[in-house]
Each structure stands twice: as C-alpha cells, then as structure tokens.
Structure 1
Amino acid sequence: MEQTHQEKKMNKVGTLDEALSYIHSGCSLMFGGFGGVGNPPTLINGILEKGVTDLTLIGNDAGFPTIGIGKVVSQGKAKKLIVSHIGSNPIAGKLLMEGKMEVEFSPQGTLAERIRAGGVGLGGILTDIGLDSMVEKGKQKISINGKDFLVEAALTSDISIVYAKKADTFGNLVYETSARNTNPLVAMAGQYTIVEAEEIVELGELDPEHIITPGIYVDIVVKSRGIDWKWAWE
C-alpha cells in the first residue's frame, strides 16, 4: 500500500540512491566530522561513485588522503574548501599550491560558530580573532562599546551530510562520543540534510534525553554500510 503524504513526512528513511539524487556537481556540501571521525562513509563513497565534481566543501578539515572526506579532496572533486586546517591531508596542500583548489581558512571555533549561525538563521558572528592581521583583509570591522570586532559571515550549504550512531524514522539523532563533534551544527545548516546512521529504529524508541539533533532538521535518513574512518588513529 502506498504511503500517504503525512506518513512520508513522518518516515524519512530512504535509499542511498535517493539521497545521492540531491547531490550534484557544483553544489556546496557541508560535512560533519573531525579528522575523518564522524564523516559519513557510505555517503562519501556514494558521492565518489556517482562522479560528482566541482564541490564546495565546508567542514572542520580535509580529512586524511584515503579516509572520510579526504578521499573526495584527494581525488580532485572539490573546487573549494572552507575549513579550519588541511594539515592531515598533504594532497590538499599540493592542490592548493598548484592552484587547483581554493581554500578558505577559518579558526576552528570561528568556523563552528559560523556554521551554527547559519543553522539558526543569523547573518554572521562577531569575533576579535584575527584583528590587526592578514585575517582582516576583505572583512568588515565594527566597534561595539569601544571594542573592535570582525564580522564573519554565517555558513550554510545546499546539502549537509551527517553521521549518527542512531536515528529514528523521523530523523531524531543520537551520536557516539567524539563522532558527535560538528555533526549537530552541520545538520542544522544545510538546505537539505542527509543523515547516514549506523542503526535506524522506530519513532519513540530513542530516549528523548539522548537525542541531540531533532528530526525537524533532517530530510532523509539512510542506513550505513560500514565505517572506514575508525582506522585513522591506528
């Protein structure tokens, strides 16, 4: 029996192909994770298999060359990165120096706040980090109560990809330890948010006290096929 519109709104579980149909060459793609931990491996592998290119990637870092989002970077699929660092992926540095990829650096705390601001509908944030340095270039500076601040624009994306330990069918999410990192912020800041979950349960089965991301931010949930970032630290 075909699902009603209301049932489809309440049950957001879909296939990998359905999720990938929203990711196209040239789009901006925000990802959760820190050094590969918390990157959604099944979605990333699907992006590579689909052959998506010219991506603007927004997230904490460039991953490792063969782990997590680093595979997308290393294979030349990104035209621009907005990240806090690229040091764990030497291929990213090589692409930058060769002029084959643009990189916009943002201090880690500032980056997280820019993503959070985008997720809650703010235009940007104020910070004193980078005052009187090259970081000021091209940025608006304002004074409040006699103190100067730089205006850092909020960050949003066409697509956000998120990794969760558990999801229910409505998209409420639970994260595991450090894999939580930037995923909750990224989930809020995408125009369309795709979640890869290790386990999917029925609505009502998650302890409300453990839910970090409410399902209202999530558009589709897919089942993970496995984790490849866990070997990053071995």
Structure 2
Amino acid sequence: MGSQIPKATARRMPIYYRCLKKLQDSGVKRIKSNEISQLTQIPSATIRRDFSHFGELGRSGYGYEVDYVTKVFNELLNVNKIIKIALIGVGNLGKALIENNFRRDQNLKITCGFEKCEENSGKILSGVPVYSIDQMKEVLLREEIHVAISTVPSEFSQEAVEMLVDGGITAILNFAPGRVNVPEHVDIRYIDLTSEILTLVCYNDWLLHPVVK
C-alpha cells in the first residue's frame, strides 16, 4: 500500500475485505456503497472516499462488482501471505491466544512465544515453541518476524516492547492498557479488555434504561 493512503483507511481495509469475501461466497455480484454501509456500519460516504484511493473501483449509480473489488483488496492486503506473529508473555491469556492461533484466519499464525518465567519457557504449546526471553532478538531476526502481540502487564510492558523493537518488530498489539513509548516507525495498538467491557455494559444499560429528560 502506498504511503498516501490514510491510516484510518488502512485500518478499515480488512473490514471491507471480510465483508466483500462473504458477499462473494454468497454469490452476490454487485453492491452499492449504502448496502456495504449497512453490513459494516461504516458511513457510505466514508466507504466511497476510502475506495477512491485505489482507483476506479465502481461507477456512480451502478455500484461495485464484488468479484473485482474483492480481488483488488486481496492483492492490497496480500491475504495469501502467511504473516508470522511473535507472542511475548505466555501466561493464561498468552496460552489462550496460542491455543486459538487465528483459526479463522489461516494467513495469520503465532509461530513463537517468549516467556521470562523459566517454568513456562522451553516448551511447545499447541505446536508453538516457547523460548526464554533472552533468546528473543536472535529468534525474531532469524525468523524475520515483524509483528508481535504482548500480554505482559503494564508495569513491564515498556521493557518488553523495547526488546521487541530491538528484535526488528514494527507492529505490536499490546494487551496492557498503559501507554508505552515506541519509535516513529513502529505501529502499536492497545486492547484494554476492562475498558471495553465497561463501555459495553454501560452502553447496553443505557439502551435498556435510557435517561429521559
């Protein structure tokens, strides 16, 4: 993908691809942006603007050819390429991630884990080798891995992320809510499970018991 594509657009591309793939598998041949909007909950104007970054994908009043646009996004996302992922922190959450290991996305695979605790390192979990954290840089460079997931607690996440970056990692999904410092070339995303659940509960409660003024 070219550098001119906005980050927000790039983040929505997998959503578009999954939607289009389902439509293609269902035999849908043509679709309009307002129909994609209903399926993805992304405004149709945003969809048209995003799609415009990739050339003339559709025609006004006609819509988009599902097979063609799916092929374009397939090539842009390089979905047939296996993306190797490293996992740092093989506690309960880490073990669950390894056990699941992106079963629905065959191109994403956790291929190695790293653990500071000697009790959890030196093992093979669901086919994934777990190394000592001291071996991280060596393994990451040898395996040419650039994507990582960190389940290390917030108080240790800065150190863990620095080790990942030192090993050539440029994309990190961090399950610790505390923000960490990374170089400009490293993209890091955060998943705060507690915050997400509280937001979900509050929103659900508001739907069930809206405040009437």
Q: TM-score range by the shorter chain?
A: 0.3 to 0.5
More helix by share: 2
What TM-score, normalized to structure 2?
A: 0.37
What TM-score, normalized to structure 1?
A: 0.34
More strand by share: 1
Higher CA-based Rg: 2
